Amino acid sequence: MYIFIITSLTKDISTIDLIGILVGHVIFGVALTQLLDWTWLKNLMSEEDKKRILKSYTWKDLLVDGAIVTVALGIIFLIISFFYK
């Protein structure tokens, strides 16, 4: 049922609207990141734990992180493709 709502929405939305929505989300994300206090993050681990984790970080971990980013970008592009018909 929800797919019909999405397809009817895609007929009404233009490319300029889509670009405006995406740019607005990016601006909101940057502004929210600047407004929030992230200083508590440095207190999550001690310096020794950070060094130990960084030393044990391997190319397999990098591969997994890259795969996660790739899947996230794929989902974003899939959502964009619904609106760009």
**Whether pLDDT at 83 is above 90:** no
The length of the chain, given as a count of residues: 85
The model's pTM is 0.45
Query: Residue 37: what residue type?
Result: D
Task: Measure CA 36 to chain center.
Answer: 17
List, for residues 26-73, the tens digit of each pLDDT value.
999 889 888 888 787 778 888 888 888 888 888 898 999 999 999 999
Tokens representing 9 are 């929405």
* Dmax (CA) of the chain: 55
What gap in Å lies between CA 11 and CA 33, rounded to an integer?
33
Lowest-pLDDT range of 8-12, 18-22, 62-66: 8-12
**Whether pLDDT at 14 is above 60:** yes
**Whether pLDDT at 21 is above 80:** yes
